[in-house]
Amino acid sequence: MVVSPVHFIAVPLLAAFLMPILAKVNKNLLRIVPGIVLTYLGYVSVVLMNRVATEGTIIEVLAGWSAPWGINLVYTPFTGFLATLMIAMSFLIWLYSFKFKKVDDEPALKYFILQLMLTTGSVGLVLTGDIFNFFVFMEIIALSSYALTAFYRDRNGAEAAFKYLLIGAFASTLFLLAIVLLYSQVGTLNMAEISVRMHDVPTSMKVSILVLFLVGIGIEAEMFPLNGWAPDAYSQAPSPVGVAFAALVVKAGVYGLVRITYTLFGIEGSGIGPFLIIMGGITLVMAEITALKQTSLKRMLAYSSIGQMGFVLIAFGIGTHEAVFGAIFLMFNHAIIKGLLFMSGSYLVYNTPNKEIKYLSGYGMKMPVISLFFSLGALAIVGLPPFAGFWSKLYILLAAADGALYGLIALILVVSIIEIVYYFRVVGRLYFGKPAEGSIMRKPTVGGMIAMSILAIAILVVGFYPDIITGYIDAAASSILNTDEYIKNALGAVNELTPVENIIQ
Amino acid sequence: MEDILKLLGGAAATMLLAFVVGATYGGLVRKIIARTQNRVGPPWYQNFVDISKLYMKDTAVHHGVMQHIGPAFAITASVTVLMFVPVLREGGWFPWFENLNFKGDIIFLIYMMVFGSLGMALGIGQTGNPNASIGVSRGLSMMVGYEIPFVLSLVSVMVQTHTTSITGLMEWQTQNGWLMFEAPFAFITMLLAILGMFHYAPFDIAHAPSEIASGPPSEFGGKYLAMMMTSGSIFAFAKLVFLVDVFMNGASNLVMLVVKTLLLYMVPVLYGAVSPRYRTEQAIRYLWGWPVFFGIIALIYSIYI
Amino acid sequence: MGGAILAYLAKRITPMLSSIVSFLAISSAAVVFFTMTSSTDVVTVSVRNFTLQFGLNAYSWVFAAMVMGISALVSLYNIAYMSGKDRLGYFNLNFTLAIMSMMGIVFANDWISFFIFWEIMTWSSFLIVVYNGIDEGKIGTKYMIFSAVGGYAMLMAIVITNSQIDSFLIADLINAYPTFGHGMQAMIGILFLIGFSVKAAVMPLHVWAPRAYSDSPMSFTAIFSGLLSKMGIFGMAIMFISVFSKASIGDTFIYSQVIAWLGGVTAVMATFYAVIQKDAKRLLAYSSIAQLGYIVTGLAIGTKLSVMSALFLAVIHALYKGILFMAVGAVERQAGSTNLEQLGALIRKMPWTFFSALIAAIALAGIPPLGGFVGKWMLYESMITSTNPSHLFLVILIFLSSTAAFLYVYRLLFGLFLGQEEPEWDHVKEAPAPMVIPMVLMALTLILLGYAPGLLFEPIANGMEFLGFENVGWQMSSLSNIWGDTVDMQYVWGSVVTLFVLGAIFITIKNRKSTRYVTTKDIHTSGEIPEAHENLTYAVDFYKPFERAIEPVMRKTMDFYYNHFGNGLESLFGFVRKIYTGNGQTYAMYVVIFLVILLLIGEQIFK
Amino acid sequence: MENIDFNQILSIAIYGSAVGLILIGLYAVLMKKHLTKIIIGLSIIDAGIHLLFIAIGYISNGTSPIFSEKGISLVSEGTKMVDPVPQALVLTAIVIGFGVTAVALSLVIRLYRHHQTARIDQIKTLKW
Amino acid sequence: MDTNDKGVRKIVDMITGFARSNSLFMLAYGTGCGDIEIPPAMTSRYDWERFGYRKMATPRQADVLLISGYLATKTLKRVIRSYEQMQEPKYVVAFGSCTINGGMYWDSYNTIKMLDHYIPVDVYINGCMPRPEAVMSGLFDLQEQIKKGEANGAQKYRENLEWYRGNQKKVIKNWVMPEYNW
């Protein structure tokens, strides 16, 4: 079987729609099928990664229509890296949630379908080379996220989901409006093509489109004034979904932001860079400040996630190769570390009222392994060596220093101190104090333990030996920065098959 | 071998001299205080009698090994200080009293001077007597008070003369005149500091006999007290010689030595004879007030002269 | 060299399941270290686009030897001290990590690995600080905040340096520093100094230290105060000597002055606080801060003698503060308390502990003839002989601090070991051998160093020559300043020891038969008979008069201001976060407002 | 008045009504407190945008967008064919909008059951 | 002691006698009204310091225990303890009639009559109260005794400890004195 990027979308989507039928056949199938699908996708992505490394960007044209008319998937090192990351995280989430919903099968069915759809959406969003499909995948993500957020009937999930929906629908509307305006100006939906034709667009219109895009995608990327939905959704969604938000949804959002700013509008000299830095800075500060005052562990993690995204935005805003490298590294780190934190954290707070931190005293003794994982994650996310988080922070700081942005460095470091404070509050609490009476520990499932162990090992390995991953990230950074190459590759397919020939076929 | 013999002989001679002069001074002080109070006072040799009586006490009790060797700390400190202080200036009888004059300097002596206090304090601590501990607390606190002007004065002298050794200081004085006049502010500071240093009134709260039962030595009797008093006599003399060396160019013969030390000694004694008593914190604040002020002036003077 | 690194990496991965394993690991690393012959190997690890270098030089050898030697002994102590406590694996893992990260710091030849190990050291020690779990985590948080401030200041300096010279090597910074502009020099210098000052607990950045020192298990505090804080000194010495001295005098003069005075003020204030403490651990913690103040001052003055004294004091301080913390730890373990107002008269029960503590206390007080005096002497002499008038005033501060140090030293020994014997402490026994042996060994080292400080001068002089001094002279047992005045430690030592032995013999054999030991209940109490349970020891508010005398300077602590600042900040944060109202419509409103604003000013932003 | 181009009026009307719909929807979303009204507002915004999209793609007097073999050249000639893409996209968007609305309404039902109210300013259990 | 050393011993005794007698450190037990006579003896009117007498604050340093007046059974306990804490050689000087025979408290139920029964007294000074002159005269007597080597109350006390203890315990009902190895 020849692997191609299409499988990323086709296989999970197919599986998702087949699952109700499969569930009728055997109830256990619906737990196993996502695993099989994701394992297969993992295989595909590994193969493709290797192929990209040797042959360069892979373009997959769908339905026989080549660019700029047809819908195409662009598998660059950058998108490939993100897709692989997403699939890997998705697989771990599946492992983690394998036995999570055993109470009754009906929600489990929905859950796995939605999870597969979420994966599809995220991976598709990353891979697509077409702005409207981008929108469609964004909506797939959004819809499955709404549903997943409201998954538990007994929590305030519905409220969170409604807020998410309200903002999310707004986002998609604005995004659509942007697409409309863009189309009216350039008359194409292929991103590479748009990028080429962007020069001709009058500035005011260009700015309006950019602003609409920024706001629309900024909502998904949790940019500051647009992120009111995020903490609620993170904290009310089932914990694997929290992981999925951190590892898939937000990453997709950031990807979109980057793709639009870098490829469509061009980062250099456009004022987008400083804008991203400023907005990222504000996001970072606001989120960390708010996180400091949280009493609920999950909300704290959510705000921390927002903060990290702000950090990523800063790094993308700086826009040098080093900064983008750091940003992608940070995206990777954030996915694995926040994944670990959400996974272990939700075990910790499983039985505490309101998921409050203050009830966690002394859990270090009751749940040693989980607490260890959480502490590891906490150490890593604040960027303490020798864990993974340190390297990404270091590279971003180096990039900032190269740009002589000393104030920014100071800001990042001050905020890191706030981050340290609230994370270490929790870690400190875990390791001393007496556990409250009658608190029941939830035993972690085998799948969950495996997932967390893999993440923990990944954090350690990347921390000790970052070179294991830096090669891929370097390639990814080059590919996102090199817009011309992207255009050439994406449109290069045109030269191989002329559209007319296509039509005739 | 000869050196060692000479050293030991010199040391013994110096110790004897110091003890005799120190104890005599002790008697004289008592006499003088008595005279100021319109009394006759004990004979000048009274201290010898007291000390020898105490050595002749039949029994002695101690509360533990630290109390037992506490007086040994004290005598170590006083004799070591004595060994490193030039008793006489070059020439004359000097070779007999050379001891270890060239092996140490002022900073070392400052530190050596507190060695005994601390050792004694440890011995005193072991007795468990609350009065003794209160005395120690007061004494050590007061020490912090007077060390500051003391050191300020010495530092300014050292800065002015560009040497930290006593023999160097004395050479400087031989050429340039007594530091008492060359460094007047330092001398004033020192005079104020030694009021506290000799623990006479008004800085005698550490030993207040009727309030805290003579304070630190209240559990020491017999040979322990005798040794403390011996050490005290030697130490008083050593300190005086040190001060005379620093400010009055030492002495070329024993007569001059006695005259100079006695003159200097009279300052705290006479001041104390007519003074009431400061509380500890008052004493510390006093010592950190004018004396330090003068000390700083002395330091500035020594830097810019 | 490579062996040590390897051993150390291997150790790090091994889960430290018991203290013994950790002791074996550390001591074997120590053995490897001390038997290492060639010290010029450089191990290079490359990460992406830069390389990390590890190597040993004459300067870092001093610190490496100190770390290895003392931590090997302390880890022996640790076996007995920690036996029977919870979560040994957790503790020992961090314990070993901290020690090994210190080795990493001294081995590091580049700033990145320096920083990596620095931070490992920080968080592993943080995890130990919260191990005891007292006071709701405030101590740990404070420690972490300040360490983070320091660490990040350092990181900032590192990345800025890299942006200037495109190299992380320490040597490159030293060479390139003079070529920077003034602002850049100042920024890098100050940031590095902040980073190191936090660990060295210099005055405005010290508030984490007392509690962090006192609330960790004592076997770690011996390391914490003795060695870990020395890493700040390690870095500071590099800054002051190698980096600043290459730059033009005028610029760096100010930093040196400021830091020197800060060190002096630290020494005085911390000493005052130490004097009024009621808890032995807290007392020692403040004392550590004060002693670090001396060392910092010594470094900042920057003459040959002062730097030598600072490095000498650094090593000596590790020794004596290690002993004292271990002794207090032994008391804590045996008697279950470290309250100076309650304990007493343990001297007869724990003679060896007392002996080591006594030696260490004498060294701490700087009284001849022990090693502590050597360091202090050099420090004073360097200041007095300094050509800079401000140092002459500084010497008074230092002197005040070191005189006041007698107070707390006495308080410590008195509170723990002297005073009246109480039935309450009758059960106390001498600490087990693994605890006593390291203490006594270290005490003997102190005595030896008093006799022959040259043993320590040699590596220090080599290290200083490496750092950039020329012709660092030293003699085996004689100290001298630049005015040519000397102190002959052999004679001092000989005189003191001879006289002491003679005096002790005399007082012992005199009336030996009729000299008796009586219990501490048999004291003069104006005839009153104290009952067995009555404690007459004067231990509460021991230095109340002194406290009253220094009261004006003690009214407001630095801690107070920091707490106010922190609380104000927290309430500000609490206010700011109200922007997340919880109303979905408000969020939508934010989106629209943001959109409108961007649309309005978009053309100005995006060109 | 005879100069008035009907097409121009039509396009102004269409564009105007699109913008109007968007603004009305925006008002509903931002000002109305009832959840259902907010959702209706969202739908109205959607409708407005769809209208706008169609309007952009529409070319008066254009032919229906059916490619012949010379399809490409038709585009380059320009004006005769109505752009098919917006229509296709709007169809997709409508479907998506429908989905969103459905999910939203189901959420409203659940919220009402949970809180016994459908006023958005009273559903604020999650905040700060 | 060898007979040959007799001469030496004599000289030594002389010196010790001189030193001991001329350096009397006193611990005044000033419970009774007699204590008011000590300040005049100390101060410039009579100035006993000229004879080497000196008031000490603690029994450890003192040679002489001055009992200045009547002793209640309650205070006797303190006296005994103070006496036992003194270092040998030690002497007791009791003054005032009360210490001799109870004086005006001769029929009091809680005042001891003969101090001699409880601790060995070297010198009694009678009078109610004895004037400073009398006190000093008594001390001169003590000096003479010391010189002659006759003031050996402490030795007596040690030898007849059981008898003394018996007497002491008779009057002190709640005997809680610790058995120090004085």
ipTM attached to this prediction: 0.82
Query: How many domains is chain C built from?
Result: 2
Residues of B in contact with E52 (CB under 8 A): 42-43, 46, 49-50
Is the pLDDT score of A490 beyond 80?
no
Q: Buried (b) or exposed (e) across C410-426, using 16+ Cβ within 10 A?
A: bbbbbbbbbbbbbeebe
- Tens digits of per-residue pLDDT, C363-386? 888 887 788 888 888 888 888 887
In a domain, E6, yes or no: no
CB A476 within 8 A of CB A357: no
Residues in chain D closer than 8 A to C578 (CB atoms): 128
Contact map slice: C 495-514 vs B, CB within 8 A: 495-496, 499-500, 503-504, 506-508, 510-511, 514
Nearest to C116 among A364, A386, A409 (CB): A386
Burial B70-85 (b: 16+ CB within 10 A, else e): bbbbbbbbbbbbbbbb
Touching subunits for chain C (3+ Cβ pairs under 8 A): A, B, D, E
Interchain CB contact of C521 with E (< 8 Å): yes
- CA nearest neighbour of D89 among D61, D59, D49: D49
**Mean pLDDT of the region A230-238:** 82
Concatenate the DSSP letters of all residues of A136-157 into one string: HHHHHHHHHHHHHHT--SSSTH
Query: CB D16: neighbour CB atoms within 10 A?
Result: 10
* DSSP single-letter state for residue B99: T
Interface check A36 vs C, CB under 8 A? no
- CA atoms of B230 and D108, how far apart (whole Å): 98
Domain boundaries, chain B: 2-304
Smallest Cβ–Cβ distance between C582 and the set D29, D30, D126 belongs to: D126
Of C484, C502, C536, the domain-final residue: C484
Residue D107 located in a structural domain: yes
At residue E28, φ and ψ (nearest 5 deg) are -90, 125
CA distance B35 to chain C (A): 31
Angle at E99 between CA E93 and CA E102, to 5 degrees: 170
Q: Range with the lowest mean pLDDT among C341-345, C471-475, C599-603, E162-166? A: C471-475
Q: What is the pLDDT of residue C1?
A: 45
pLDDT at B93: 60
Question: Which residues in chain D have their CB less than 8 angstroms from residue A290's CB?
Answer: 128
D29 in contact with chain C, both atoms CB, cutoff 8 A = yes
Which of A390, A394, A430 should be substituted to probe chain C, the one whose Cβ sees the most C Cβ atoms within 10 Å? A394
Mean pLDDT in residue range C113-131: 82
* Contact between C577 and D128 using a beta-carbon 8 Å cutoff: yes
The SS3 call for residue C482 is: coil
- B8-12, B87-91, B118-122, E63-67: least confidently modelled range: B87-91
Q: How many CB pairs under 8 A join C and D?
A: 29
Taking the Cβ of residue B41 and every Cβ of chain E, the question of whether any pair is shorter than 8 Å is answered with yes
- Segment C253-258 shows an average pLDDT of 75
User: Dihedrals φ, ψ of C110, to 5°?
Assistant: -130, 160
Asked whether B238 and B76 are in contact (CB, 8 A), the reply is no
**Number of domain units in chain E:** 1
The answer to whether E77 faces chain C, any CB pair under 8 Å, is yes
E60, E65, E83, E181: best to mutate for the C interface, most C CBs within 10 A? E181
Residue A409 sits at the chain C interface (C-beta within 8 Å): yes
Mean pLDDT of the residues in chain C: 79
Q: How far is C367 from chain A (nearest CA, A)?
A: 41
Among C484, C512, C545, residue at a domain's last position: C484
DSSP one-letter string for B169-218? HHHHHHHH--HHHHSHHHHHHHHHHHHHHTT-TTS-GGG-HHHHTTSGGG
- CA nearest A9: which of A142, A98, A141? A141
Q: E74: domain range?
A: 25-171
Size of interface B-E (CB pairs under 8 A): 89
Give the pLDDT mean for C132-157.
77
Most confident of A56-65, A182-191, A283-292, A467-476: A283-292
Are C284 and C360 in contact by the 8 Å Cβ rule? The answer is: no
With helix as H, strand as E and coil as C, how does C164-225 read? HHCCCEHHHHHHHHHHCCHHHHHHHHHHHHHHHHHHCCCHHHCCCHHHHHHHCCHHHHHHHH
Contact C585 D33 (CB under 8 A): yes
Q: Which of C439, C467, C484 is the last residue of a domain?
A: C484
Amino acid, single-letter form, for residue C282? R
Cross-chain residue pair A271–C593, CB shorter than 8 Å = no
Distance from CA of A463 to the nearest CA of C (A): 10
Mutate to test the interface with B, among E16, E25, E87, E142 (most CBs of B within 10 A): E87
* Pair (C340, C203) in one structural domain: yes
Does residue D1 lie in a domain region? no
pLDDT of residue A106: 58
Q: How far is E53 from chain B (nearest CA, A)?
A: 9
Task: Let me know if C18 is exposed, middle or buried by CB neighbors in 10 A (0-12, 13-18, 19+).
Answer: middle
Q: Identify the domain containing residue C573 by its residue range.
A: 559-605
Contact at CB, B42 and E52, closer than 8 angstroms: yes
Answer whether B263's CB lies under 8 Å from B192's CB. no
Are C and D neighbours with ≥3 CB pairs closer than 8 A? yes
Let me know if chains C and B touch, i.e. at least 3 Cβ pairs under 8 angstroms: yes
CA E28 to chain centre: 9
Mean pLDDT of E123-134: 84
For the stretch A320-351, pLDDT in tens is 888 888 888 888 888 889 888 888 888 887 77
Which pLDDT belongs to residue C135? Answer: 54
What residue in C sits closest to A227 (Cα-Cα)? C587
Bridge partners (DSSP) listed for residue C486? C480
Provide the token pair at D89. 């996209």
Are C446 and C573 within one domain? no
**DSSP per residue, A374-396:** HHHHHHHHTT-TTSHHHHHHHHH
Number of other residues whose CB lies within 10 A of the CB of residue C194: 20
Interface membership of A442 toward C (CB under 8 Å)? no
Judge whether D128 lies within some domain: no
Contacts of E44 in chain B (CB under 8 A): 37-39
pLDDT band at A499 (very low <50, low <70, confident <90, very high): very low
Contact between A398 and C162 under an 8 Å Cβ cutoff? The reply is: yes
Residue of B nearest to C351 (CA): B65
* Residue contact E178–C522, C-beta within 8 A: yes
- Mark whether A and C touch (3+ CB pairs within 8 Å): yes
| C519 interfacial to chain B (CB closer than 8 Å) | yes
Q: Which of A165-174, A202-211, C399-408, D67-76 shows the lowest per-residue confidence on average (mean pLDDT)?
A: D67-76
Measured between CA atoms, the residue of chain A closest to residue D22 is A173
Q: How confident is the model at residue A498 (pLDDT cuts 50, 70, 90)?
A: very low
Rg of chain C taking only CA atoms, in angstroms:
26
Q: Is the pLDDT of residue D128 over 70?
A: no
- To the nearest whole Å, the CA of D57 is away from the closest chain C CA by 24
CB atoms B63 and C549 under 8 Å: no
Local confidence band at A205 (pLDDT 50, 70, 90 cut-offs): confident
Q: Does the pLDDT value for residue A495 go beyond 50?
A: no
Query: Which pLDDT band, with edges at 50, 70 and 90, does B296 fall under?
Result: confident
Among B13, B23, B38, which Cα is nearest to B274's? B38
Please report which helix (H) or strand (E) contains residue C136, including its range: none
Indicate if the alpha-carbon torsion angle E160, E165, E171, E172 is positive or negative: positive
> Residue C137: is its pLDDT beyond 60?
no
Between CA C518 and CA A130 the distance in angstroms is: 98
What CATH number is associated with residue D25?
1.10.287.3510
pLDDT at D71 over 50: no
Give the chain E residue whose CA is nearest to the CA of C515: E87
pLDDT band at A232 (very low <50, low <70, confident <90, very high): confident
pLDDT value at A140 more than 80: yes
pLDDT bucket at C174, cuts 50 / 70 / 90: confident
Residues within 8 A of C (CB atoms), B 1-40 only: none
Q: Are B56 and E20 in contact (CB < 8 Å)?
A: yes
Assess contact for B86 and B101: CB atoms under 8 A: yes
CA–CA gap between residue C232 and residue C48 (Å, rounded):
29
State the residue range of the domain holding D17.
6-122
Q: Mean pLDDT for chain D?
A: 76
Strands A72-75 vs A58-61: parallel, antiparallel or unpaired: antiparallel
Neighbours of chain E (3+ CB pairs under 8 A): B, C
Best CA proximity match to A312, nearest among A237, A269, A252: A252
Q: Which residue of C has its CA nearest to D128?
A: C580
The maximal CA–CA distance of chain D, rounded, in angstroms, is 62
Quote the CA–CA distance of B72 and B76 in Å, as a whole number: 6
Average pLDDT for C472-490: 74
Please indicate, yes or no, if residue E16 is contained in any of the structural domains: no
Q: Pick the closest to residue A488 from A61, A74, A2 (CA basis).
A: A74
* pLDDT at site A496: 46
Q: How many CB atoms lie within 10 A of CB C254?
A: 11
> Does E73 reside within a domain?
yes
Residue C262 half-sphere exposure toward CB, CA atoms < 13 A:
20
Q: Looking at the predicted structure, is the pLDDT value of residue C86 above 70?
A: no
Say whether pLDDT at A297 is over 60: yes
Does C573 contact A at CB distance below 8 Å? yes
Phi/psi zone of residue C261: left (φ > 0), alpha (ψ -120 to 50 degrees), beta?
A: alpha
Given CB atoms, is E122 within the 8 Å cutoff of chain B?
no
> What pLDDT is stored for residue D16 in this prediction?
86
Mean of pLDDT over chain A: 80
Interface test with A, best of D98, D120, D126, D128 (most A CBs within 10 A): D126
Residues B59, E19: C-beta atoms closer than 8 Å: no
Comparing B36-45, C565-574, D80-89, the range with the smallest average pLDDT is D80-89
- Does the distance separating the beta carbons of D127 and C580 come in below 8 Å? yes
Pairing of strands C515-517, C486-488: unpaired
- Tell me how far apart the alpha carbons of residues D90 and D97 are, in angstroms, rounded to a whole number: 10
**Residue C382, CA atoms < 13 Å, CB-side half-sphere:** 25
Per CB-CB distance under 8 Å, the chain D contacts of C585 are: 29-30, 33, 38, 120-121
Q: Is the pLDDT of residue A358 over 50?
A: yes
C-beta separation of A368 from C93 below 8 A: no
Provide φ and ψ at C54, rounded to 5°: -120, 135
Query: Confidence band (pLDDT; 50, 70, 90) for B94?
Result: low
Instruction: Give CA–CA dist A193/C402, Å, rounded.
Output: 77
pLDDT digits (tens, 9 = 90+) for E28-50: 877 777 788 888 888 888 888 88
Of C222 and D81, the one with more pLDDT: C222
Partners of residue A73 on adjacent β-strands: A60, A128
Average pLDDT over residues B52-77: 83
Position D76 confidence tier, pLDDT thresholds 50, 70, 90: very low
What is the rounded CA–CA span in Å between residue C488 and residue B104?
6
Place of tokens 């002007």: B149
Q: What is the 3-state secondary structure (H, E, C) of A215-228?
A: HHHHHHCCCHHHCC
pLDDT at A500 over 50: no
Question: Given pLDDT bands bounded at 50, 70 and 90, which one contains residue B99?
Answer: low
Beta bridge partners of C316: none
At residue A475, does pLDDT exceed 50? yes
pLDDT(A210) > 60:
yes
B128 and C486 within 8 Å at the Cβ level: the answer is no
Across the range A84-97, mean pLDDT stands at 85
C-alpha D115/C-alpha C109 separation (Å) is 63
Q: Is the Cβ pair C588, D121 closer than 8 Å?
A: no
